[in-house]
Chains A and B, each alone.
Chain A
Amino acid sequence: MMKNKFKLSIGLMVAALAFTGCNNSSQTSNKGALGSSAAEKVFVAPGEHDSHYAFLSGGYSGNLTVYGLPSGRMFKEIPVFSQFPTNGYGYSEETKPMLETSFGFVPWDDSHHPDISQTNGELDGRWVFINGNNTPRIARISLTSFETEEIIEVPNSAGNHSSSFITENTEYVVAGTRFSVPVPQRDMSIKDYKGNFKGALTFISVDPEHGHMDIKFQVLMPGFNYDLSHPGRGKSHGWFFFTTYNTEEANSLLEVNASQNDKDFIAAINWKKIEEYVNNGGGTMMPANYAHNLHDEATHTATSTMKKEVRVVNPSEVPGAVYLLPTPKSPHGCDVDPSGEYIVGNGKLSANLTVHSFTKMLDAIENKKFDGDAYGIPILNFEDVLAGSVQQPGLGPLHTEFDGQGNAYTTFFISSEVVKWKLGTWEVLDRKPTYYSVGHLTIPGGNSRKPFGKYMFAMNKITKDRYLPTGPEMEHSAQLYDISGDKMEILLDFPTHGEPHYAAAIPAEIIKSKSKKIYRLDENEHPRKAISEADTKVVRDGKNVHIYMNMIRSHFTPDNIEGVKVGDKVFFHITNLEQDFDVPHGFAMIGARNAELLVSPGQTRTLTWEPQQVGVWPFYCTDFCSALHQEMQGYVRVSPADSDIELSWSLGE
């Protein structure tokens, strides 16, 4: 009886609270998550899965992070351009070649714009591509293994920023240079920039079966800064659009000198036309030097090959392939709507948002309505190509995404907001603040023919007071919005890792079931694998000692090794014999001056260790693997350099 009364009163209290909650939300619509059902909308019950994957660039972390939507939980950091001691990427012998470049081994980069592969303009969820901005590179990450499989360096480029965006059947992943440079690189006066530097726009073909990348051609454009780009789609498939700034071709104090022109350009490239030209032998092969790094899933090993030439095309060689569309005030984002008709130039110093019409552009080209040329490239009339402009929507427009319902969403850096506006009528429908100074935003599929317009998230450049303070340096903030209604509703505020620029997101069901669980041992073709006990051995080759080791819960075979000497270079080739989901083993060697290894089930990885001191040195498993994890250890005896102790190895003897 007492209990029931108690329950009843609790029930009443809950009802009262709920009632009050409703009142609050109707009184003040900006009360946030507590005043509405926002908390419910982002709550993913323990054990349940999120409905979307989001792949956020890591910015200066050089990596890619995987998040769930709507929860904002981070699931994984995928190492791409940066060494990652957490699992040994870029430290293990198998993965070191991934970070080779024409500059040698480069262990870091600045990753910006992930883009998911498409078929017929829709996300197919096979791969995600991302650019390295600093040492120009493009990476391809598998969405079955969630590992970086391939990295190609981009020659003649510098500040690989208008990258990595893909055409609607993943024919090409496109990489444009932000900084123009001498092509080929040479010793010359910086003051002679104007007219001499070039901006390379690189079209990298993607093999439809394996995803392997190969540079098909580079268009050597005038020495502007090529800021961002997007492919045409639907009716404009076959074209690619790049925003430019610094059409002044300034080489110093760009802050002032690159903001002089009232209008810069969006460069429209008819890549189908250039492809045809190239297929017929057009263009010039020029000497180059760039790395192509490929990780083979069967051998679990990456190889790096230096490529020695690249095909370049001068726009004047292919009449009718390149045009310039005047666009006000240093446009940053270059975004194409799902129909392929509208090309949005987000003029970052402009009060208005400029939208060009693809149909009008074709018409102007057909009727040769040119307003002069730049280095032989025809410039179209601004008024002839303009579809419309959104009048004074905010300050500092940067990027636009689409919901597939005829609406566009643009971020405004200076006024810290996302503005929703209507394509065609150009009227502003809604605006919501971000916290603070938003850069990119992402709608799953928001830059494809088929957006999934339920969620939108904004990635901010400034965090300030959003979270508990963590000293001067902190993670960047992001906000998730529900965009399924007429008005945007902020749902969640979550920290992100590194500095995300763009992100790509996709409904979970497209990729979830394809996620790999293990690497099969019977498909392991690593030349130094040790599948059975009989394969385990220690072999000396001069000063190099190769230890063929394997591991399973919870021991290493062998776990006692003698005969290693000071001055040797020891290679631990370790195969994880597990064939069960989520049973990686780690390997850590005392004094190893690189990293640990985290070896997935069925995988082989190699760690190098150069013992410096005589003694008996332990190694152990770093990933808590079973109740006997603490027993998973072994010893290497290191003898003086002149010792005559023979190599020996054992387990359980």
Chain B
Amino acid sequence: MKLTLKIITVLFISLLVSCGGKEEKKEETNSFQKKAPTEQKAAPKAEKAEKVVKASEKIDLTNKGIGPIKSLELPTDIDQSMVAKGEDIYKKMCTACHRVDKKFIGPAPSGILERRTPEWVMNMILNPEEMTQSDPLAKELLIEFNGSPMANQNLTEEEARAVLEYFRTL
């Protein structure tokens, strides 16, 4: 049973990844260009000494995190009304600690979906206490950001999903 589940999961993820690829073409060169330097940056570091890669720069597109979001398939098209809603929520609930393009109290959300699964991002928003205690990446991030906790802003799943959609445009 477990094995079949794993196989299904792997298949599912590869499906997701391939979908993502298509979507990036639509988004044109911006995100592609963003992605390239990140990878280039990460690569040489990894060659020299793997351990110095910061948690915020690590790429893990399989870990879904811990929380209510078990699986999420992002449609190819970005839903602009959801983006607008998500941007509004982000400004009200997140900017006390996050800046779009730079490290502030917490990490910058731009390009986050190139480093994390959508499920991981939503679980980090919805279930930060458990994530920072039990998820390996979130634990590392807590240390990287000086132990500053990710606040639970009590967003609904729908609101967190809108914020995620907004992150896709960054």
Task: Mark A residues whose CB is within 8 Å of B.
Answer: 518, 520-522, 531-534, 550, 552-555, 557, 577-580, 583, 626-628, 652
* C-alpha gap A653/B108 in the complex (Å): 18
* C-alpha gap A577/B154 in the complex (Å): 11
CB distance A579 to B149 under 8 Å?
A: no
Q: Known contacts being A552-B96, A552-B97, A652-B104, is A532 close to B154, with CB within 8 Å?
A: no
Enumerate chain B residues within 8 angstroms of A628, measured Cβ to Cβ: 146-148
Other-chain contact of B152, A521, A555, A557, A579 (Cβ < 8 Å): A579
Chain A residue at minimum C-beta to C-beta distance from B159: A522
Instruction: Give, as a whole number of angstroms, the nearest-CB distance from B152 to chain A.
Output: 4
The list of the 8 closest CB pairs from A to B, nearest first, reads: A579-B154, A627-B147, A580-B152, A552-B96, A579-B153, A577-B96, A533-B95, A626-B149
* C-alpha gap A532/B89 in the complex (Å): 10
CB distance A553 to B93 under 8 Å?
A: no
Instruction: Give, as a whole number of angstroms, the nearest-CB distance from A283 to chain B.
Output: 50
Enumerate chain A residues within 8 angstroms of B148, measured Cβ to Cβ: 553-554, 626-628
* C-alpha gap A555/B105 in the complex (Å): 9
Q: Is B15 an interface residue (CB 8 A)?
A: no
* 30 sampled A-B residue pairs with Cβ under 8 A: A518-B154, A520-B154, A521-B92, A521-B93, A532-B91, A532-B95, A532-B96, A533-B95, A552-B97, A553-B148, A553-B149, A553-B151, A554-B148, A557-B96, A577-B93, A577-B151, A577-B153, A578-B151, A578-B153, A579-B93, A579-B152, A579-B153, A579-B155, A583-B151, A626-B148, A627-B147, A627-B148, A628-B146, A628-B147, A628-B148
Chain A residue at minimum C-beta to C-beta distance from B89: A522
Enumerate chain B residues within 8 angstroms of A552, measured Cβ to Cβ: 96-97, 151
Enumerate chain A residues within 8 angstroms of B147, measured Cβ to Cβ: 626-628
CB distance A580 to B96 under 8 Å?
A: no
CB distance A580 to B154 under 8 Å?
A: yes
Instruction: Give, as a whole number of angstroms, the nearest-CB distance from A279 to chain B.
Output: 46
Enumerate chain A residues within 8 angstroms of B155, measured Cβ to Cβ: 579
Instruction: Give, as a whole number of angstroms, the nearest-CB distance from A131 to chain B.
Output: 37
* C-alpha gap A580/B148 in the complex (Å): 15
Enumerate chain A residues within 8 angstroms of B146, measured Cβ to Cβ: 628
Enumerate chain B residues within 8 angstroms of A555, measured Cβ to Cβ: 96, 105
* C-alpha gap A580/B153 in the complex (Å): 6
Enumerate chain B residues within 8 angstroms of A554, measured Cβ to Cβ: 148
Enumerate chain A residues within 8 angstroms of B154, measured Cβ to Cβ: 518, 520, 579-580
* C-alpha gap A534/B88 in the complex (Å): 12
* Pair count A-B, CB < 8 A: 51
Interface of chain B residues 65 through 109 with chain A (CB within 8 A): 91-93, 95-97, 104-105
Chain A residue at minimum C-beta to C-beta distance from B148: A628
Enumerate chain B residues within 8 angstroms of A534, measured Cβ to Cβ: 91
Enumerate chain B residues within 8 angstroms of A579, measured Cβ to Cβ: 93, 151-155
Instruction: Give, as a whole number of angstroms, the nearest-CB distance from B26 to chain A.
Output: 31
Enumerate chain B residues within 8 angstroms of A577, measured Cβ to Cβ: 93, 96, 151, 153
Give 1 or 0 for each of B138-154: 1 = CB within 8 Å of chain A CB.
00000000111101111
* C-alpha gap A291/B151 in the complex (Å): 41
Enumerate chain B residues within 8 angstroms of A627, measured Cβ to Cβ: 147-149
Q: Known contacts being A578-B151, A583-B151, is A531 close to B97, with CB within 8 Å?
A: no
* C-alpha gap A555/B96 in the complex (Å): 9
Instruction: Give, as a whole number of angstroms, the nearest-CB distance from B64 to chain A.
Output: 23
CB distance A531 to B104 under 8 Å?
A: no
Chain A residue at minimum C-beta to C-beta distance from B155: A579
Chain B residue at minimum C-beta to C-beta distance from A628: B148
Enumerate chain A residues within 8 angstroms of B151, measured Cβ to Cβ: 552-553, 577-580, 583
Enumerate chain B residues within 8 angstroms of A578, measured Cβ to Cβ: 151, 153
Instruction: Give, as a whole number of angstroms, the nearest-CB distance from B78 to chain A.
Output: 24
Give 1 or 0 for each of B9-40: 1 = CB within 8 Å of chain A CB.
00000000000000000000000000000000
Enumerate chain B residues within 8 angstroms of A520, measured Cβ to Cβ: 154
* C-alpha gap A294/B169 in the complex (Å): 46
Enumerate chain A residues within 8 angstroms of B93, measured Cβ to Cβ: 521, 577, 579
Enumerate chain B residues within 8 angstroms of A652, measured Cβ to Cβ: 104
* C-alpha gap A550/B149 in the complex (Å): 17
Enumerate chain A residues within 8 angstroms of B152, measured Cβ to Cβ: 579-580
CB distance B96 to A533 under 8 Å?
A: yes
Enumerate chain A residues within 8 angstroms of B104, measured Cβ to Cβ: 652
Instruction: Give, as a whole number of angstroms, the nearest-CB distance from B159 to chain A.
Output: 10
Give 1 or 0 for each of B118-160: 1 = CB within 8 Å of chain A CB.
0000000000000000000000000000111101111100000
CB distance B96 to A550 under 8 Å?
A: yes
* C-alpha gap A320/B59 in the complex (Å): 85
Interface centre among A518, A552, A557, A626 (most CB of B within 10 A): A552
* C-alpha gap A533/B96 in the complex (Å): 6
Chain B residue at minimum C-beta to C-beta distance from A520: B154
Enumerate chain A residues within 8 angstroms of B96, measured Cβ to Cβ: 532-533, 550, 552, 555, 557, 577
* C-alpha gap A518/B151 in the complex (Å): 13
Instruction: Give, as a whole number of angstroms, the nearest-CB distance from B97 to chain A.
Output: 6
Interface centre among B96, B104, B105, B153 (most CB of A within 10 A): B96
Chain A residue at minimum C-beta to C-beta distance from B150: A553
Enumerate chain A residues within 8 angstroms of B149, measured Cβ to Cβ: 553, 626-627
Chain B residue at minimum C-beta to C-beta distance from A627: B147
Instruction: Give, as a whole number of angstroms, the nearest-CB distance from B99 to chain A.
Output: 9
Instruction: Give, as a whole number of angstroms, the nearest-CB distance from A624 to chain B.
Output: 13
* C-alpha gap A627/B146 in the complex (Å): 9
* C-alpha gap A194/B91 in the complex (Å): 69
Instruction: Give, as a whole number of angstroms, the nearest-CB distance from A549 to chain B.
Output: 11
* C-alpha gap A299/B12 in the complex (Å): 48
* C-alpha gap A554/B104 in the complex (Å): 12
Chain A residue at minimum C-beta to C-beta distance from B104: A652
* C-alpha gap A340/B147 in the complex (Å): 61
* C-alpha gap A521/B153 in the complex (Å): 10
* C-alpha gap A579/B156 in the complex (Å): 12
* C-alpha gap A520/B91 in the complex (Å): 16
Instruction: Give, as a whole number of angstroms, the nearest-CB distance from B24 to chain A.
Output: 31
| Interface contacts beyond A550-B96, A580-B151, A628-B147: sample of 17 additional A-B pairs, CB < 8 Å, sorted by A | A518-B154, A520-B154, A521-B92, A521-B93, A532-B92, A533-B95, A533-B96, A552-B97, A577-B93, A579-B93, A579-B153, A579-B155, A580-B152, A580-B154, A583-B151, A627-B147, A627-B148
* C-alpha gap A555/B149 in the complex (Å): 12
Chain B residue at minimum C-beta to C-beta distance from A531: B92
Enumerate chain A residues within 8 angstroms of B153, measured Cβ to Cβ: 577-580
Instruction: Give, as a whole number of angstroms, the nearest-CB distance from A126 to chain B.
Output: 24
* C-alpha gap A579/B149 in the complex (Å): 13
* C-alpha gap A532/B97 in the complex (Å): 10
* C-alpha gap A578/B104 in the complex (Å): 17
Enumerate chain A residues within 8 angstroms of B97, measured Cβ to Cβ: 552
* C-alpha gap A532/B96 in the complex (Å): 7
